Structure 1
Amino acid sequence: MPEHFIGLMSGTSLDGVDGVVATFDSGVRVLAHATAPFDPALRAELLALNKSGEDEIHRGELAANALMRVYAQVVHDLLRQSKLTAGDVRAIGAHGQTVRHRPQAFDGTGYTVQLAQPALLAELTGIDVAADFRTRDVAAGGQGAPLAPFFHRAMFGRASETLGVLNIGGISNLTLLRADGTQLGFDCGPGNALMDSWCLRHQGQPFDRDGAWAAGGTPDQALLKSMLAEPYFASNPPKSTGRDLFHDEWLAGQLKSNVSPQDVQATLAELTAAAIAQDVKRHAADLPKLVVCGGGALNGHLMRRLQALLPGTRVLSSEEEGLPPLQVEAAAFAWLARQCVRREKLPLTSTTGARGARVLGALWPA
């Protein structure tokens, strides 16, 4: 009988939870996909907890409890869709919500924080929960991110073929799978987070559907140049980032001239595309194919800009490679739960910079 695993992901975009139930015995097979949006109050609190504030430990614990209830709702939806019972699922892989990510802070001894209450999730679902995947990597000297590249190889890797896998969530991260079996993975910079925030502020919409608002504007070249001068973009892997760096205040500090809101949106879209293209050219100049997943793959304007900036690379949605864009990250955490349960070490060094292979995650029995 195949082992079933559930993966749950709530990312930097803060739009809600994606979940899948999948098997990995003979390739990757997704049986069901479910989503649940965050209500505005929870989203606002999770966003606020990215900064220091009054009574944040208490507020963080309450937010983690609320988050687990959304996770549990997604689990029950997945069980209903797939006609499985809790007893049919070996484990849940739960990412949690990142509210701090500073892996190289404080003279090289950093930390990463994902709000979660795995014990509560196990209690609510009756299923073992694997969680806290990033802290062991940081303890071993790694960035704690990105972790999806290991799943990307399992899902999209082909013998003797070089390709890239690009996830565009709140932050964009790139995986380069080389024909010789080696891989490189790192965060490029902002994905949707700055665009979404700016769109909400000026259009009252949580995101720019299909990039239509950005497409109607004109990137401001002086603003784009200023933003691309951020030292993170020129730094070498291993590297990772998040809202600790790319936040609304960072953007406000860049806005030194009178640029219309629509042209700012166009510039933010160009920033995302340009930072990704710059990294592809730097680390895989002859990349034949770039598979795009995450919410950014649904942004037609952004996909067109990526293709224009990478004319020698075929840019395509992960849908064409067998897994819809909004299922990839959740499937990655189902796969990481499987690796955790089996105590299988991941070769972290070339991706996160950790000192060696480690088992990631901890297990909370039901």
Structure 2
Amino acid sequence: MLVRGARAAHAARTDVADAELFLGLISGTSADGIDAALVRFEHGRCALVHGRTYAWEPALRARLVALGQGGDAASLDELGRLDVQVAHAFADAALRLLDEVGVAPAQVRALGSHGQTVRHRPGPPHPFTWQLGDGHVIAERTRITTVADFRRRDVAAGGQGAPLVPAFHAALLHAPDEDRAVLNLGGIANFTLLPRRGPVRGFDTGPANALLDAWCQRHTGAAFDAGGAFAARGTVDQALLARLLAEPWFALPPPKSTGREQFQLAWLQAHLRGGERAEDVQATLLELAARTIAEALHASQPYTRRVIVCGGGVHNPHLRARIAALLPEAVVESSAVHGLDPDCVEAMAFAWLAREALAGRPGNLPAVTGARGPRVLGVVFPA
């Protein structure tokens, strides 16, 4: 059963009689909750009606995190059960959100479900990406047309399958008078580059919340480093930071993507020498995230004047401050400044992607993912 998440609900006006409604669902790399967003499309514009984050049942979350970090399933039976359990959790989130705002499922045109990634291996010779959450179950439970399995068509077309949100960022946040970047601080950090002129680009930069959360939980018992307080008690270990930055993945050119199966505690542990203070390692992981983000932006779009931040990491003031210090030439600000709640942006994006799929419009950007061309993303499961 889902319980109410730690983050508050986010609501806009609820007069939806004449609007086209879509619902988006995602649980990101951190698996820290199921983000649900009801989105209104009206006169070509997209607005949040209601958004909330729901917590996973603890035992289910622990199993998903273990699989996402490279663990193996006990059996095919376990994978099958998890696929259905995740779908029920997503359906619960959708139905609770609609109940809270007083919208009937029949009023929702479609639901876009990202699912929960348990493995992301887009490299040769047999690239694949795998998100749990059976669309059949979600459609049956909610009685809403469901679009799911967004990433695999892009991978089949030679792409990374990620990130997929840049097309949504471009639709809402592009400006003709300045070079912008949208920074998603999720379990993995990723950029959408929005130049004044030229193609939209995007890519993962490396670990953000996933490693910070995992190290914090191991040493404090807390699921995440609230306000960055644990990291703030420590000092950056420059020798450890240098070893972490030597990871070859950071030097790869875009398009590129990664996940928890690569940047996990086992990866970190292999770089420790023993005797490090836990808070110093936390401070070093925060610096790693900030440095790799700043260096990626300097290399890819050096004249960026505005960095718009969304995702869970927006609530870590120490991480945001460090990123801003490393990008003094740019304004670093929350997506809330632009009318987009930072906790709901990705869920809104999958509502938008579901709408694109039903309209037969491509949802990927080949310049971002490296796919051979534009592709309509997602599999439709009728209500």
Task: Give the TM-score of the pair, scaled to structure 2.
Answer: 0.93
Deviation (angstroms), 1:52: 4.5
Query: Equivalences for 1:13-162 in 2 at 5 Å?
Result: 13-25=30-42, 26-50=44-68, 51-53=70-72, 55-106=74-125, 109-162=126-179
Q: Distance in 2 between matches of 1:69 and 1:123?
A: 10
Q: Distance in 2 between matches of 1:129 and 1:17?
A: 16
The residue aligned with 1:278 is 295
1:7–1:333 contact (8 Å) kept in structure 2: yes
Q: Distance in 1 between matches of 2:233 and 2:329?
A: 26
1:290 has 2:326 as partner: no
Q: Distance in 2 between matches of 1:31 and 1:77?
A: 14
Deviation (angstroms), 1:153: 0.8
1:194 has 2:214 as partner: no
Distance 1:180 1:76, change over 3 A: same
The residue aligned with 1:301 is 318
1:34–1:77 contact (8 Å) kept in structure 2: no
1:160–1:180 contact (8 Å) kept in structure 2: no
Q: Distance in 2 between matches of 1:347 and 1:73?
A: 28
**Bigger proportion of residues as helix:** 1
Which range is displaced more, 60-69 or 211-220?
60-69
1:345 has 2:362 as partner: yes
Deviations 1:81-127 (CA, angstroms, capped at 9, x unpaired):
33211111011000011011000132xx3000001110000011000
Query: Equivalences for 1:196-235 in 2 at 5 Å?
Result: 196-235=213-252
Deviation (angstroms), 1:27: 1.9
Deviation (angstroms), 1:347: 5.3
2:154–2:364 contact (8 Å) kept in structure 1: no
Deviations 1:6-30 (CA, angstroms, capped at 9, x unpaired):
0001011111101001023332211
Per the alignment, in what secondary structure is the counterpart of residue 343 of structure 2? Answer: helix
Per the alignment, in what secondary structure is the counterpart of residue 120 of structure 2? Answer: strand
Which range is displaced more, 279-288 or 69-78?
69-78
Gapped runs of 5+ residues in structure 2? Answer: 1-17
Deviations 1:33-53 (CA, angstroms, capped at 9, x unpaired):
122101210011112223353
Which range is displaced more, 287-296 or 72-81?
72-81
Per the alignment, in what secondary structure is the counterpart of residue 45 of structure 2? Answer: coil
Deviation (angstroms), 1:181: 4.5
- The one-letter amino acid paired with 1:43 is R
Deviation (angstroms), 1:248: 1.1
2:194–2:201 contact (8 Å) kept in structure 1: yes
Which stretches of structure 1, 4 residues or longer, exceed 3 Å deviation after superposition?
A: none
Q: Distance in 2 between matches of 1:62 and 1:22?
A: 30
Q: Distance in 2 between matches of 1:183 and 1:246?
A: 26
1:164 has 2:181 as partner: yes
Per the alignment, in what secondary structure is the counterpart of residue 253 of structure 2? Answer: coil
Gapped runs of 5+ residues in structure 1? Answer: none
- The one-letter amino acid paired with 2:51 is H
2:87–2:132 contact (8 Å) kept in structure 1: no
Deviation (angstroms), 1:360: 0.5
- The one-letter amino acid paired with 2:92 is Q
Deviations 1:54-107 (CA, angstroms, capped at 9, x unpaired):
53422122122221222122111221233211111011000011011000132x
Which range is displaced more, 337-346 or 48-57?
48-57
Deviation (angstroms), 1:155: 1.8
Per the alignment, in what secondary structure is the counterpart of residue 28 of structure 1? Answer: strand
2:309–2:335 contact (8 Å) kept in structure 1: yes
1:217–1:263 contact (8 Å) kept in structure 2: yes
- The one-letter amino acid paired with 2:130 is V
Distance 1:222 1:357, change over 3 A: same
Distance 1:173 1:280, change over 3 A: same
Name which of 349, 358, 362 aligns with 2:379.
Answer: 362
Q: Distance in 2 between matches of 1:74 and 1:64?
A: 16
1:92–1:129 contact (8 Å) kept in structure 2: yes
The residue aligned with 2:12 is none
Q: Distance in 2 between matches of 1:76 and 1:52?
A: 31
Per the alignment, in what secondary structure is the counterpart of residue 302 of structure 1? Answer: helix
Q: Distance in 2 between matches of 1:280 and 1:216?
A: 28
Q: Distance in 2 between matches of 1:306 and 1:236?
A: 21
Q: Distance in 2 between matches of 1:265 and 1:361?
A: 38
Query: Equivalences for 1:256-335 in 2 at 5 Å?
Result: 256-335=273-352
- The one-letter amino acid paired with 2:35 is D
- The one-letter amino acid paired with 1:88 is Q
Deviations 1:333-361 (CA, angstroms, capped at 9, x unpaired):
00000011111024522100000111011
